[in-house]
Amino acid sequence: MGSIERIKGVAKRVIAEKKNKNDVVVVVSAMSGETNRLLDLAFQAGGTADNLETDMIISSGEQVSSGLLSLVLKSEGYDSVPLLGHQVRITTDEVHGKARIARIDGENINKELSRGKIAVIAGFQGINRDGFITTLGRGGSDTTAVAIAAAIKADRCDIYTDVDGVYTADPSLVPDARRLDSVYFDEMIEMSSLGAKVLQIRSVEFAMKYRVNLFVKSTFVEGPGTQIKFLGEKIDMEELEVSSVACDKDEAKISIRGVPDKPGIAAKIFSKISEANIVVDMIIQNISVHGFTDLTFTVSKKDLKKSLAITSKIAGELKAKEVISDDKIAKISVIGVGMRNHYGTASTMFKALSKENINIMMISTSEIKISCVIDARYAEHATRVLHDTFGLGKAKRPK
Amino acid sequence: MGSIERIKGVAKRVIAEKKNKNDVVVVVSAMSGETNRLLDLAFQAGGTADNLETDMIISSGEQVSSGLLSLVLKSEGYDSVPLLGHQVRITTDEVHGKARIARIDGENINKELSRGKIAVIAGFQGINRDGFITTLGRGGSDTTAVAIAAAIKADRCDIYTDVDGVYTADPSLVPDARRLDSVYFDEMIEMSSLGAKVLQIRSVEFAMKYRVNLFVKSTFVEGPGTQIKFLGEKIDMEELEVSSVACDKDEAKISIRGVPDKPGIAAKIFSKISEANIVVDMIIQNISVHGFTDLTFTVSKKDLKKSLAITSKIAGELKAKEVISDDKIAKISVIGVGMRNHYGTASTMFKALSKENINIMMISTSEIKISCVIDARYAEHATRVLHDTFGLGKAKRPK
């Protein structure tokens, strides 16, 4: 939600749905820039992202949006009611700053809908069992929307974003990137964790778990958007080998070189890092040479400093030769459920990169995705090359 | 509460009380300018001052303040907890924009205090019985503070304002105005309704009713402030005849001239005005001459336009000669419980004004105050003259 003008735009969409004889529940996010402004105030006062107080402060952004949208709907002649997390009884765990929803009571919402009202719910917030406001982390309003859709068994849950759907690649990097009419939940989860910023991964997981009929649409332009579909038992043989290419420049890598190779080294390092609440993404351990080994892993750039401090300390204890790090890397991934039917997707990918003289530093794979870490300088070029290699500018998913 | 710096200043005061071995409950208002900013947003979206949505929007200001002050206290090493209206269970009636407190449950506050915490409560807000946020009107945080003090039977309730206490007159008008060490509740209520903007009248009435030990102090400078005292049965013969002079330029007067004098005219006019939720302050009906009478009354300037429309309509029905209005008036009042012992306070006042050639247009009196409506041009001069006449620059209240 941006300015009042933007809220009026949102109201138009809501009214169009209402005119189509749908009951409508709207979950709102804060106005543009508001969460950052409030977060900054909290930080100035000595707060951190996981404070009870910080949650109380930043959740006010959605509270304001919810009141404003309800006012605009009313002044357009549509009866509506703004509702906060504690009114909808969105109960969460105790983790401030990234709480997880435990339960939603759809009763209050259904009551308002049965009175013909549009329910306008403040996203991103819940309450814990002591009655304090919690927030769900960045993109938390998406999660609220999906969770409410599940709780009231909604026919459909439309997530409005900055883009008009899910693309075969980031259109700002790849000029012929194409909107997909549909992607599978399995792909969407991979995409969300691989740098595609369309939907927060938790909202996708939630929707998948509770079988919510999910769409991604644009706040700015009308259109069909992208449907997130459930994958059946059998994959169509005509299915696209790869449906999208993702590029993530938010990671950095750390290498410990010349570690005396004894059992339990990796466990020692990664248990210390995980104790610091840092998530390690990719890991490579080289084959031991003359009793020494190298260990390389990636973490989020924001955790690099802290991870380096931990790693250096352990490296000292282990008498490793050196610890080096590199934050000028990019993780390029290809994703597609069709990979399960096609053999050699990985080799096609590696060949394409090699042909362009792009060196692959690390590789990780799952059943439906292959990721390669490369030099950040080639990130955009590699994305375009892979998009082209797998014919994503043209190929259409079978119906 | 102004900026973060200002919040840090508030924290210092709170910590000083805590160091004096007091349990402390702080009620916070919104940061400076915040309520107006939020109100403006609500109005842009089509809201009015009495909307459910407007209350949800503007109450977020105190929510943010409460989180911020609690953070600052914690970073200074003092355990604290921010609490919202619904957590303290401040239940109100259904009147959005100026709700009245029905009940406060002190239990949650006492629980936090017994854990050694400083309770930081968002002022100005409550919840109605349907769980929606209500607000208490301008100055509502004072009312929250007093109501909470009553609910938890606090030893003392200090209200921090822009000024360092209650003065014998507005110091910006009267250079030798003096801070009073104490005023009586009865006087404070008169002063609040006569243009002295120190405390919201409802908070004073509430404190009087529930016998709260009330002080007015300054946010900016340390000092003893002014204590609001309970008046005993008997008034000290040494008591000040007048303890303060107030000047109110927020009223306008309306006159209906040449009304055929029949019973029920005043009732007809004032019932229509009161139906429009307009408060009439002073009323004068002239003695009937040849079967015609004049009726003059004052209303708040902001209600002038609406009042004129209603009055003109009725004047037409009553076949009155004309309706005229004047918004360049001032109401000058002298207040003091000592008037009850002194005879001739009114005549002293009238003589002083007459000596300065200031014409008195309307008069209204109570046991402890006399108000005169005069030409607005003489407002400041009259205030200074009366302050001088009753010796307020020097005289001290007996202990």
Pick from B235, B228, B320, B328: which is nearest to B269 by CA? B320
Residue A274's pLDDT is what?
85
Q: What is the nearest CA distance from B42 to chain A, expressed in angstroms?
A: 6
Prediction pTM value: 0.81
> Which phi and psi angles does B301 have, rounded to 5°?
-55, -40
Residue with tokens 């349907």: B130
Helix (H, G, I), strand (E, B) or coil at A180: coil
pLDDT at A254: 95
Question: A64, B7: Cβ pair inside 8 Å?
Answer: no
Predicted confidence at residue B234, as pLDDT, reads 77
- Amino acid identity at A16: A
Instruction: Taking each helix axis as running N to C, give the angle between helix A34-44 and helix A60-75, from 0 to 180 degrees, rounded to the nearest 10.
Output: 150
Which has more pLDDT, A361 or B58? Answer: B58
Nearest to B68 among A57, A82, A133 (CB): A57
Q: Say which of A4, A38, A75 has its CB closest to residue B64.
A: A38
Tokens, residue B84: 């919202």
Chain A neighbors of B85, CB-CB under 8 A: none
Could you give the CA distance from residue B167 to residue B94 in angstroms, rounded to a whole number? Answer: 36
Calculate how close chain A gets to B224, using CA atoms only, in Å: 29
Give the residue among B79, B66, B80, B82 at the shortest CA–CA distance from B7: B66
| DSSP secondary structure code for residue A337 in this structure | G
Which ipTM was obtained for this model?
Answer: 0.78
- Quick check: A42 and B68 CB within 8 A? yes
Q: Using CB atoms, which residue from B45, B60, B81 is nearest to A63?
A: B60
Report the distance separating Cα A7 and Cα A153, nearest Å: 26
Half-sphere exposure of B381 (CA within 13 A, CB side): 13
d(CA B217, CA A79): 45
CA B363 to chain centre: 21
Model pLDDT, residue A234:
77
pLDDT in tens, chain A (399 residues): 558 888 999 999 999 999 999 999 999 999 989 999 999 999 999 999 999 999 999 999 999 999 999 999 999 999 999 999 999 999 999 999 989 999 998 999 999 999 999 999 999 999 999 999 999 987 899 999 999 999 999 999 999 988 899 999 999 999 999 999 999 999 998 888 887 677 888 889 889 999 999 999 988 888 899 999 998 877 777 788 899 999 999 999 999 988 887 777 778 888 888 888 888 888 887 777 777 888 889 999 999 999 999 999 999 998 999 999 999 999 999 999 988 888 789 889 999 999 999 998 888 888 899 999 999 999 999 999 999 999 999 877 777
Is B81 in Cβ contact with A45 (below 8 Å)?
no
Q: How many CA atoms lie within 13 A of B272 on its CB side?
A: 16
Angle among Cα B156, B160, B164 to the nearest 5 degrees reads: 105
Distance between CA A32 and CA A203 in Å, rounded?
Answer: 20
Q: How far is B4 from chain A (nearest CA, A)?
A: 7
> Count of H helices and E strands in chain A?
13, 19
Q: What is the CATH number of domain B4-229?
A: 3.40.1160.10
Q: How far apart are CA A56 and CA A99, in angstroms?
A: 13
Lowest mean pLDDT across A271-275, B49-53, B303-307, B393-397: B393-397
Nearest to A66 among B44, B56, B70 (CB): B56
Q: What is the DSSP string of B260-300?
A: E--TTHHHHHHHHHHHTTPPEEEEEEPPPBTTEEEEEEEEE
Q: Cα(A337)–Cα(A219) distance, rounded to whole angstroms?
A: 28
* A10 interface with B at CB cutoff 8 Å: no
Query: In the structure encoding, which two tokens stand for residue B311, read together?
Result: 């009055």
Q: Where are the domains of chain A?
A: 4-229
Q: Does B57 touch chain A (CB under 8 A)?
A: yes
B70 → closest Cβ in A53, A75, A81: A53
Name the DSSP class of B167.
B
CA distance B369 to B359: 19
Report CB contact under 8 Å: B71, A56: no
Residues A63 and B57 sit within 8 Å (Cβ to Cβ):
yes
B56 and A CB contact within 8 Å: yes
